[in-house]
Structure 1
Amino acid sequence: MKITLSPYEMELVRKQLGREPNEAEWLTIDALWSEHCSYKSSKVFLKSFPSEGERVVMGIEDWQDAGALDIGDGWAIVLKLESHNHPSAIDPFNGAATGVGGIIRDIISKGARPIALLDMIRVGPLNNSRNRWLLKNIIAGIGFYGNSIGVPVVGGELDFDESYTDNPLVDVAGVGVVRKDKIIPSVIKEPGLKIIIVGLTGLDGLGGASFASRKLSGEDEIGAVQIADPFAGKIVLDVTLEVADKVEAIKDLGGGGLVVGITEMANGFGAIVNLDKVPLRVKDLRPEEILVSETQERMLFAVKDENVEKVCKAFEYYEYPCAVIGEFTKEPYIKFLYNGREVVSLPSDLLLSPPRFVWGAKKVREKRLNETKPEVGLEESVKAVVSRILSKEWAYSQFDYEVGTSTVLKPGEADSALISLPNGKLLAIKGDANPDLCAEDPYECGKSIVAEAYRNLASVGAIGIGVVDHLQFGDPRKPDVYYSFVEAIRGIAEASKFFQTPIVGGKVSFYNENKEGKPIKPTPLIVMAGLVKDKFLRNSVVEDSYIVQVGFTRDEMRGSLFTKLFGVYGDVPKTRLNEDYLASQLIVDAINDEKVIFAKDINKGGLIGAIFSILVKGKGVELTLSSIPSDTDDWVPKLFSENSGRFIVLTNDPDYLMRKAKGIYISVVGKVTKNYGILEIDDKKINLDKEIENYYNYLNEVMS
């Protein structure tokens, strides 16, 4: 098992201890001080995130496994966002499946019942056979676990870029529901509690936290990947919720395994753990292997003496291993024993106080071969852009998105997933990232992805109430990578404060690089949850409806799909948060007043990208270029700019929108026609029936 500690960190340990740690102690420190578990290169900046608000029940707190938001009537939702990037690059099926399992256990560790999953997947181009293999097995792994355990996958993203060829990104978000007064902490508040472990410990996932805290080496690292067992996961889910009222704290055994779970749960107190009492899947495991194994489907419980038998009996009914392995102590030392011999004895404050690093940050601008506007025709550009917009039905068809009867809008029906809650309210949830924009300007990108998620929720009638994030970058020691990281945080924090959507949890994932050491495009990702204000919108497309653009188009082309296809030029889109807010409020009001039948925010592909979602519904579209409100007469930005603050809606009453609008542009830009697949821009007719067919069939054909 590799150690990721630097010589500086190792010398720091020796000075604090006054001695040389043994092998088991080095592995313990390495796990807890790993980037994956300690956030040692990011925590300084993460403190800028807004984490408080009237709906925040549990925010960004040390060693809490998930955040929680008040949804009224005594209920809360629990939110969590995680990834399994490195494991999925080595073993995509188990890497993705165990990512789902980890999210499920994070949710149930708060005493919440999981009700929905979202998956956000990024791989390299599908003309590469290995990328196709990765995608097929990632989706199979997600479906295998989610379908088996009975939690619907209600939405997500699927994106392709060369930078993810060696290092795919596999993000999974989970939502659970729980009574506010029944939320279980992940840490103890007093010593003297017994430590119970459920599940078997094996050889899979050895050193997983350290593995996730370094770049992929190209060597055989399959042993660091955990093996998924959703049927055991279902037992863990059901029984954990059954015994939740009999325990004082619950923690999923995830990154770092037993050493991290015990130390974080101790919360500054101490623990004495007997490793020889840990139930094993494999005989004769070394104590060092038991310490850092990340075998899945395991949980830790802190339990009072009188409840120990009740907790274990519930698991033993299903013949699921359950054992008392130790006790939390007042003395602030974490001690692991094996056959009566002390193999680890380390002070809690050392383990929980890793050094903090702030690396040098410097903006590095790559030289571009083409900084001038490309010469490209109208029809060519329209067809090229819409050809990159693909239906995700191939992926969603492998997921059970209706199990549990809580799904209101199916995946792909709208810009946001919509699920029903126990208190009768409707929850909207959406994940957003924009790596192409982040590669150009991470600060504007940070603001933009929060604003886009806010608009996505508004398009179904919901107002955002909270956010979880995942910040995915290359090696933080590289100045340009660290610059992107810091700037993205600045943008996300600013936008989250503006929209009053506090960040209640998240994760940082560094060292996402290819085998040559080139980092992925900066990929901060946020998942926003919101509540439907009154009514929700189920999109429909009706002939002769007016197409109305809400918001103003700007000649800001950099970072757009158009420039990705034809050459980089132009200005970076500036996210004007007040325009996003005003436009979103108007859309929600129009939905509540039943004045729109279709709403979609304008993002990838610009206006043409949004219009294409009308065309694929079996109709045609007429657009008038001169009617598009813009700061330019150039047709390229009018059609393809991706600046924020804009929606396309279908309505029979555009005057309503004009009367209700405050401080934003409203313009009728076209009409829906009966001419299937025909996009008419002024006097130019473009037949997109082949592109529509490609929209529905491309992934199915390529992945078959």
Structure 2
Amino acid sequence: MVKLTLSPFEMEIARKRLGREPNEAEWATIDALWSEHCSYKSSKVYLRSFPSSGERVVMGIEDWQDAGALDVGDGWAIVLKLESHNHPSAIDPFNGSATGVGGIIRDIISKGAIPIALLDMIRVGNLNRERNRWLLKNIIRGIGFYGNSIGVPVVGGELSFDDTYDDNPLVDVAGIGVVRKDKIVPSVVKQAGLKIVIVGLTGLDGLGGASFASRKLSGENEIGAVQIADPFAGKIVLDVTLSIADKVEAIKDLGGGGLVVGVTEMANGFGAVVDLDRVPLRVSDLTPEEILISETQERMLFAVKEERVKEICAEFEYYEYPCAEIGYFTDDSVIRFRYRGKEIVNLPSELLVSPPLFMWEVRKHKRPSIERPKIDIEEAIRKVVSHPDFVSKEWAYSQFDYEVGTSTVIKPGEADAAVIALPNGKLLAVKGDANPDLCENDAYECGKYIVAEAYRNLATVGAKGIGIVDHLQFGDPRKPEVYYTFVEALRGIAEAAKFFNTPVVGGKVSFYNENKEGKAIKPTPLVVMAGLVEDKLLRGSIEEDLSIVMLGLARDEMRGTFLSKLYGNFGETPKVRLNEDLVASELVVQGINRGKILFAKDIGRGGLVSALFSILVRGYGVDIRSNGIKADIGDDLLVKLFSESTGRFIVLTKEPEWFLENKKGVIASVIGKVTKSSGVLKIDDKSLELSKEIDNYYNYFFRVIEND
């Protein structure tokens, strides 16, 4: 018996709409299509507020399209997709993360696009716990195993740590592909009569994965819901799918919900007849319900004209890869599955794709603010720069082949954004950002903040954002405080996306990120922004005696900052002033294009201290004058050093006067110089020698993980 996640209320709605009691196979079908993972039943109403159109949008947020697409000029488009494999990675981190990569790649190729890059954004609990070290080690192994084997570079990402992720790690993977605009393949059919062709073997792994992802982790043994990764089969699927993309009418990855979801979504309102006996199986004794909802990897669906079925299958069979015609699309809007001559599912398409939509109760939960504690500046500096969030991630990305395919221009760890060469000669910059500490305090401001930060990150390499994909990760939406943060974060993302003219072309919602005691993760919305280098690319270089110019104003808004994470939740929450982010970013890009900037970094988590530390770890020192740091609170050094107010950068230049003369509404000030005193942070007359912290920066993970 398949484990259902449908509520009694939903089951009664299904009975009334259908006018009868569904059988076991039909309940499994409804459960998969109505799962939170596939239906967005608790989020769809609010997702409609996202800006999803624009001059560069080729394919936006459309029903059942597997990925979004943006015009990058000269007849080319990039395809973007962002997904997570959180629950599977909590159970089996190696296969959970590896299959997350595989699923993203198949989403990209389903549009006829060539995958050119991956980004991974990973969040786990405190590494003092053995289980978290085990999770992280195997998550990284899984991502590297699949990406390296299939030949798609991992060019960037995030690696962050917080107790909130102890039992529920977040493993987000973004994929980028390129395709000629006129060669994009739809994921849905536009006519009846087309044949349904499946490739790959169906097994027991990944059984009920969509339902598994739509409930909290129970602590029970749910290893059967985790798919098993096979990148070598995935490579066959990738190569052959791209070779036949212009010979088929639609392509769909068989992901969440398995065959029932894939067929129903591809039908797009049409009907379908599928014979389960024709589905190639890995094991012979699968029940029909298991065949319906299995999420075995490396499988695809193709809608094919009858005369081309043999030709398509011959391409796969050349590599001894299973391929079979299993049914056809009809014009009666009924989804039918047959098994051994008997019809076991007969459900209206309208019923399956129209789940009840929910708008749950919302209630604001204000976290108490404490009085500002006494904080020793030197201690705070050392604590922040030593935290694993800010150390080098070389241990992780050294396990990834980030240069395969020869399109990687800026490698992981070299700048605030990764840069990839496109077939038309243009350069694409990409960056993912989240800020759960701020989201826990003010989800609306956080939604704006992460979009603004991604926009600033792209500016540091000379790029302007053109579009985003998002992933909204929260606890149980039925809890008013959780649902409130979801609604507010979405509102902030939508507002910022409209402001920067970076439409949302795709995304995902992941609810029920809770441990077995029902404690939710910190709200963790994430965006990945893509942009184009407008003129000149800044790789970044540092030399002695360069002037350090700060753009923007440090504000006394310390709540939700990294410093308050370490010392207690004090002060006011940062207010995101989007116009300041825009004009400062434009000034940075202009400075890069005119050759005035040698190195640029946005000021985000960790404040000015974290930004300056990026100079120290490159073998230099800095000499800062605190009276040059512009702030709204006078001479408060703590605020000047650790504020995370937005719209700010540091730039290294030989011509600081250019910024003072061309700031155009941006607050600009010279705050110091780069020195040859390696590892020394000098603030006014006090020098801090940070050689131990720099050693920790380069060796933290090798010591903590490899010596475990």
Cα pair 1:548 1:666 within 8 Å, conserved: yes
- Deviating beyond 3 angstroms after TM superposition, the runs of 4 or more aligned structure 1 residues are none
Give the SS at the match of 1:313. Answer: helix
**Within 5 Å, which residues of 2 pair with 1:184-199?**
184-199=185-200
Q: Is the 8 Å Cα contact of residues 557 and 642 (structure 1) preserved in structure 2?
A: yes
Q: Residue 104 of structure 2 aligns with which residue?
A: 103
CA offset digits 1:601-622 (Å, max 9, x no partner): 0001100000000000001111
Aligned to 2:666: 664
The answer for the alignment partner of 1:383 in structure 2 is 382
CA contact (8 A) 1:163 1:514 kept: no
Post-superposition Cα deviations, 1:127-172, rounded to whole Å, max 9, x if no partner, equal 0000000000000000000000000000000000000000000000
For 2:652, the equivalent position in structure 1 comes to 650
Which residue of the partner structure matches residue 487 of structure 1? 488
Instruction: Give the aligned partner of residue 374 of structure 1.
Output: 373
Residue segments in structure 1 that go unaligned for 5+ positions in a row: none
Distance 2:672 2:575 in 1: 26
Aligned-residue offset at 1:367: 3.5
Secondary structure at 1:327's aligned position in 2? strand
- Paired with 2:663 and 2:204, the residues of 1 have a C-alpha distance of 61
1:550 corresponds to which letter in structure 2? Answer: L
CA distance in 1, matches of 2:556, 2:329: 61
Q: Is the 8 A contact 1:363 1:483 kept in 2?
A: yes
1:270-289 maps to which residues of 2 (within 5 A)? 270-289=271-290
What CA distance in whole angstroms lies between the structure 1 residues aligned with 2:495 and 2:20? 46
Aligned to 1:638: 640
- Partners of 2:51 and 2:367 lie apart in 1 by 33
Letter of the aligned partner of 2:158 in structure 1? E
1:307-456 correspondence runs (5 A): 307-368=308-369, 371-388=370-387, 389-456=390-457
Confirm or deny that 1:262 pairs with 2:259.
Answer: no
Query: Is the contact made by 1:208 and 1:225 (CA closer than 8 Å) also made in structure 2?
Result: yes
Are 1:501 and 2:527 counterparts? Answer: no
Query: How many Å apart are 1:258 and its aligned residue?
Result: 0.0
User: What is the CA–CA distance in structure 2 between the aligned matches of 1:367 and 1:180, rounded to whole Å?
Assistant: 51
| 1:492 Cα deviation from its structure 2 partner | 0.1
Aligned to 1:208: 209
Aligned to 1:533: 534
Q: Which stretch of the first structure deviates more once superposed, 552-561 or 464-473? A: 552-561
Letter in 1 for 2:646: S
Aligned AA for 2:555? R
- SS for the counterpart of 1:408 is strand
- Matched AA of 2:256: G
Aligned mates of 2:476, 2:510 — CA distance in 1 = 10
Displacement after TM superposition at 1:364 (Å):
1.2
Q: Secondary structure in 1 aligned to 2:392?
A: coil
What CA distance in whole angstroms lies between the structure 2 residues aligned with 1:659 and 1:268? 60
Query: What are the within-5 Å matches in structure 2 for residues 439-588 of structure 1?
Result: 439-588=440-589
> How far 1:17 sits from its partner (Å)?
1.0
Q: Which amino acid aligns with 1:612?
A: F
- Greater shift in the superposed pair: 385-394 or 204-213: 385-394
Code of the aligned partner of 1:373: R
* Structure 1: distance between partners of 2:568 and 2:340: 66
Aligned to 2:40: 39
2:146 aligned counterpart, secondary structure: helix
| Deviation at residue 309 of structure 1 after TM alignment | 1.2
Give the 3-state SS of the residue equivalent to 2:412 in structure 1.
coil
- Work out the CA distance in 2 between the residues paired with 1:387 and 1:373: 22
Aligned to 1:676: 678
**Offset at 1:372?**
1.1
In structure 2, what residue type is equivalent to 1:436?
A: D
1:393-417 Cα shifts (integer Å, max 9, x gaps): 0000000000000000010000000
- The 8 Å contact of residues 88 and 170 in structure 1, kept in 2 or not, is answered as yes
Q: Which is worse superposed, 622-631 or 655-664?
A: 655-664
Note the 1:87-236 alignment, pairs <5 A. 87-236=88-237
* Count of equivalent residues: 702
1:252-303 Cα distance to aligned partner (Å, 9 max, x none): 0000000000000000000000000000001121111000000000000000
Distance 1:559 1:337 in 2: 55
1:57, 1:395 → 2: CA distance?
34
Counterparts of 1:483 and 1:191 in 2: how far apart (Å)? 43
Counterpart CA distance in 1 for 2:343 and 2:243 is 35
- Quick one: which amino acid aligns to residue 669 of structure 2? S
Please state whether the residue corresponding to 1:669 is helix, strand or coil. Answer: strand
Tell whether the 8 Å contact from 2:367 to 2:441 is kept in structure 1 after alignment: no
Cα distance in 2 for partners of 1:377, 1:652 equals 34
Q: What do residues 55-108 of structure 1 show as CA deviations (whole Å, max 9, x unaligned)?
A: 000000000000000000000000000000000000000000000000000000
TM-score (norm 2): 0.99
Counterpart CA distance in 2 for 1:3 and 1:29 is 9
1:598-609 superposed matches below 5 A? 598-609=599-610
Superposed CA offset, 1:430-452 (max 9, x none): 00000000000000000000000
Q: 1:2-45: CA deviations, max 9, x gaps? A: 10000000001111111111110000000000000000000000
**TM-superposition CA deviations, 1:292-332 (whole Å, max 9, x none):** 00000000000001111111111011010000000000111
Q: CA deviation at 1:46?
A: 0.2
CA contact (8 A) 2:253 2:262 kept: yes
Report SS of the residue matched to 2:64: coil
Matched, 1:593 2:594: yes
What is the DSSP-based 3-state SS (H/G/I as helix, E as strand, rest coil) of the residue aligned with 2:58?
strand
**3-state SS of paired residue (2:375):** coil
Contact 1:622 / 1:680 at 8 angstroms: preserved in 2?
yes
> Which position in structure 2 is the counterpart of 1:694?
696
State the distance in 2 between where 1:289 and 1:378 align: 60
Please give the root-mean-square deviation of Cα atoms over the aligned residues, in Å. 0.6
Once residues 4 and 699 of structure 2 are traced to their aligned partners in structure 1, the CA distance between those partners, rounded to angstroms, is 46
Q: Percent identity?
A: 74
Aligned to 1:611: 612
In 1, Cα distance between equivalents of 2:222 and 2:153:
31
Q: For residue 393 of structure 2, what is the amino acid of its counterpart?
A: K
SS in 1 for 2:665: coil
Q: Distance in 2 between matches of 1:286 and 1:33?
A: 21
Contact 2:437/2:560, CA 8 A, preserved across alignment: yes
Counterparts of 2:698 and 2:670, CA distance in 1: 29
Q: Is the 8 A contact 2:368 2:569 kept in 1?
A: no
Residue identity matched to 2:381: V
**TM-score between both structures, scaled by the size of structure 1:** 0.99
Provide the rounded CA distance (Å) in 2 between the counterparts of 1:366 and 1:430.
30
Q: Which amino acid aligns with 1:382?
A: I
More off after superposition, 651-660 vs 137-146: 651-660
